[in-house]
Structure 1
Amino acid sequence: MSLLSLNAVRARIGRERVLDGVSLTVSAGEVVALCGPNGAGKSSVIRAAAGLLAVESGRVRLGDDDISRLSPRQRAERLSYLPQERRIAWNLPAVEVSALGAPFLAGEAALDRAKEALLAVGAGHLADRGVAEMSGGERARVLLARALVVDAPLLLADEPTAGLDPDAQRLVLEQLRARSRAAAGVLVSLHDLTLAAAFADRVVVLDGGRIVADAAPLDALAQPVLRQVFGLDGTWIEGPDGPLLAARRVQ
């Protein structure tokens, strides 16, 4: 059974249609990457999946349940969400920000889980530092730790590697892959097509709010799709750590 399913979902933000008949699934043990140019609808899919974007038509389900019928607590128990926005209003210590991801724990239990999550993302040394005093990349790790604190069966991550150095990008995606190996489902939006091909089980390519491809990474990101959606002349090369994209802009 799918942990998440979107069936013919259509949605608008203001007058702009951002999703136009989107259907996809995420199952336990699976990493699904959303790829596409800016404005393709990647963030809108993730926000709809989290119940944060009103759906004009179609259905969003967590398992057998329509997400609109679940209480905020039920959603929080069944999914964790890492938004693209990394602004944090208060200069709390990183360990307290991370602990906010465990709303059903309290006191030392929440802090212990938060410390474990910070260590997992390479941010254990930041535990007592205020988040306002951190770089954008450091805050990104803290927010990822917040999403990992809860062992929810579904993890939604919107551009979790944006602004990170290459080593940190791979660390983040390794953590998402580890969650999938522990039987969670992961839906993640990525701009880096090489990282998507290396870490995802499936790639869903979006363009103009519609799904163009949904397949194994190298099938979804085949040459016609690279040209049509991304404006690239590209070839996949097998590297030591997975496929590498050699590409140039279509003239």
Structure 2
Amino acid sequence: MIAPLTMWDADASLGGRKVLDGADVQVEYGQLVALVGPNGAGKSCLIKAFVGLLELDGGVARLNGDDVRTLSPRERARRVAYLPQERHIAWNLPAVEVAALGAPFLSGAEALARAHAALAEVGIDHLADRGVAEMSGGERARVLLARALATDAPLLLADEPIAGLDPDAQRLVLERLRARADSGAGVLVSLHDLTLAAAVADRIVVLDQGQVVAHAPPMEALEPDVLRRVFGLDGRWIEGPDGPLLAARRVQ
């Protein structure tokens, strides 16, 4: 069976700088893959290449076996939901209308029903009629997550969805992404927190200077040599009450 999300030998440049360098990534249905790496490693660029927002100089990115470059924007939207890192919403629309944008192939009434269900899933259906400009940053992040969850797409890509959120909101977002994978979707999410990535992911892709240096189950991908070489950490994993915890200090 063809993996639904694949990238092979991908090269890409941005502003004259190489941001992907022979990158290989694969995500299966029912699997949550965490993409980690230092700032500037190329995580956002890799995700944008998968949704056709960054053109590859070489290699290929495929959605359900088809080169993303051969798919129309409409067909991409059917196959993959994309949650970008930026949380800017241009208009002060009610939350339910923003969430309904994630269901463009449904009738108006069906899209609104789907949006209400997605808002309830992230715990803010009581804010459905509130304008997004009148919300806190955390509430707006939940609205945008609801927009991604409102789609029927079998793949979901999320770029730093928990950045700047409080611990409760971080946990809710990761729980929803994990639930989406457990229901059969393929999920690729970029994260900075290595402990959270290890706790939620089936596999971890470590990216450094545009290159994939590890793609394995969490403890294998984040083994001590990778922690030191990529993240500058002298660390080890210990068993905590809720899963593995990273005990680490900066390499001197």
TM interval, short-chain normalised: over 0.9
1:168 CA displacement: 1.2
**Whole-Å Cα distance in 1 between the matches of residues 167 and 22 of structure 2?**
34
CA distance in 2, matches of 1:28, 1:225: 27
SS of residue paired to 1:101: coil
What residue number does 1:186 align with?
A: 187
Give the secondary-structure state (helix, strand or coil) at the position aligned to 1:2.
coil
Tell me how large the CA RMSD over aligned residues is.
0.8
2:34 maps to 33
TM value normalised by structure 2 = 0.98
Structure 1 stretches of 4+ with a deviation exceeding 6 A read none
Q: Report deviation, 1:175.
A: 0.7
Q: In the TM superposition, what whole-angstrom CA distance separates every residue of 1:76-119 from its partner, at most 9, and x where no partner exists?
A: 11100000000110000110000011111122211111011011
For 1:91-130, list aligned pairs within 5 A. 91-130=92-131
In structure 1, the gaps of 5 or more residues are none
Residue number in structure 1 paired with 2:219: 218
| Structure 2: runs of 5+ lacking an equivalent | none
Q: Which amino acid aligns with 1:120?
A: E
Q: What CA deviation, in whole Å up to 9, does each residue of 1:163-200 have, x standing for no partner?
A: 11111111111111111111100000000101100000
The answer on whether the counterparts of 2:103 and 2:152 sit within 8 Å (CA) in structure 1 is no
Give the drift of 1:63: 1.7
Q: Note the alpha carbon deviations across 1:15-61, whole angstroms, 9 max, x for none.
A: 01100000111110010000001000100110001111011010111
What is the number of residues matched between the two proteins?
A: 251
Counterpart for residue 151 of structure 2: 150
Distance of 1:32 and 1:68 partners within structure 2: 23
In the alignment, which residue of structure 2 is the partner of 1:54? 55
SS of residue matched to 2:24: strand
Q: What amino acid maps onto 2:88 in structure 1?
A: R
Pair 1:233 & 2:234 matched: yes
Rounded to whole Å, the distance in 1 between the matches of 2:118 and 2:110 is: 13
Q: In 2, distance between residues paired with 1:98 and 1:26?
A: 26
